[in-house]
């Protein structure tokens, strides 16, 4: 608990252990996201985050202490709640200035493997996933311009949100528990 209240420089200076500090990255690991199972390389939502140790230490010790495990070079952001994997965010476009790279792994949809580049269209996602349970738009409060569109899918216990920018480029895919069993 002490690590949550310390700034990142203190975590490193005083060698305060944080959740991923002893994890060792396995470079040969092939990353795969399964949309239906809600898993990253075989580790499903709700499972012990320690099973993700092959990712190595998270980029930010301070954020890791708060349960946010960012892996900018891998295009991944993970959240932990009580030591369990609570969400998986897959970033499909690199950020301006290089803060994070685009995910370069494989996606699995109903036992079929796919590569989803940022150019993947909404129509292609609907072809792969089927018709979404819901569609949503995020708009600028002042101008009313759409700055983000999303498709939401519920696969039993997994909620999958596929996010596009206003021009239709695939930005990210978020997986979290749906609340259904």
Residue (of 52, 83, 57) closest to 70 by Cα position: 57
pLDDT for position 18: 65
**In the chain, where the domains are located:** 2-21+29-177
Q: Region 165-175: what's the mean pLDDT?
A: 90
pLDDT for position 4: 46
Which position has the higher pLDDT, 142 or 41?
Answer: 41
Which position has the higher pLDDT, 7 or 124?
Answer: 124
pLDDT for position 100: 78
Segment 90-108, tens digit of pLDDT: 999 876 666 778 898 999 9
Torsion of CA 130, 156, 69, 107, to 10 degrees: -30
Chain CA centroid to CA 16, Å: 26
Quick check: 88 and 49 in contact, CB under 8 A?
no
Q: What does the block give as tokens for 64?
A: 């890791």
What average pLDDT does the structure give for the chain? 85
Token pair 């480029």 is found at 169
Q: How large a percentage of the chain has pLDDT more than 70?
A: 85
Any idea which of 15-29, 34-48, 145-159 has the lowest mean pLDDT? 15-29
Dist CA 73 CA 27 (whole Å): 12
Burial class (CB in 10 A: 0-12, 13-18, 19+), 115: exposed
Look at residue 80 and tell me whether its pLDDT is greater than 60: yes
Q: What does the block give as tokens for 20?
A: 């991923």
What pLDDT band is residue 3 in, cutting at 50, 70 and 90? very low
Residue (of 175, 137, 172, 174) closest to 156 by Cα position: 175
Dist CA 150 CA 171 (whole Å): 10
Give the CA distances from residue 101 to residues 22, 62, 85, 90, 171, in Å, rounded to whole numbers and listed in that order.
24, 21, 22, 10, 12
Q: What does the block give as tokens for 68?
A: 């946010």
Segment 11-40, tens digit of pLDDT: 455 454 567 878 888 866 679 999 989 999
Q: In 25-83, at which residue ranges do the beta strands (DSSP E only) sit? A: 32-34, 39-40, 43-44, 68-71, 76-81
């Amino acid at each position: 608990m002490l690590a949550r209240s310390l700034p990142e420089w203190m975590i490193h200076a005083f060698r305060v252990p944080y959740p991923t500090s002893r994890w060792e990255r396995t470079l040969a690991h092939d990353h795969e996201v399964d949309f239906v199972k809600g898993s990253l390389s075989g580790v499903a939502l709700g499972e012990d985050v320690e099973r993700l140790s092959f990712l190595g230490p998270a980029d930010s010790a301070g954020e890791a202490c708060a349960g946010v495990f960012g892996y900018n070079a891998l295009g991944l952001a993970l959240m932990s709640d009580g030591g369990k994997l609570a969400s998986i965010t897959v970033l499909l476009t690199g950020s301006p200035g290089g803060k994070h790279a685009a995910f370069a792994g494989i996606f699995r949809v109903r036992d079929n493997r796919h590569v989803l580049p940022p150019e993947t269209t909404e129509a292609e996602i609907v072809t792969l996933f089927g018709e979404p349970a819901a569609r949503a738009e995020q708009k600028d409060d002042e101008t009313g311009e759409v700055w983000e569109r999303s498709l939401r899918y519920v696969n039993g216990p997994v909620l999958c949100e596929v996010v596009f920018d206003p021009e239709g480029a695939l930005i990210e895919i978020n997986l979290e528990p749906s609340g259904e069993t």
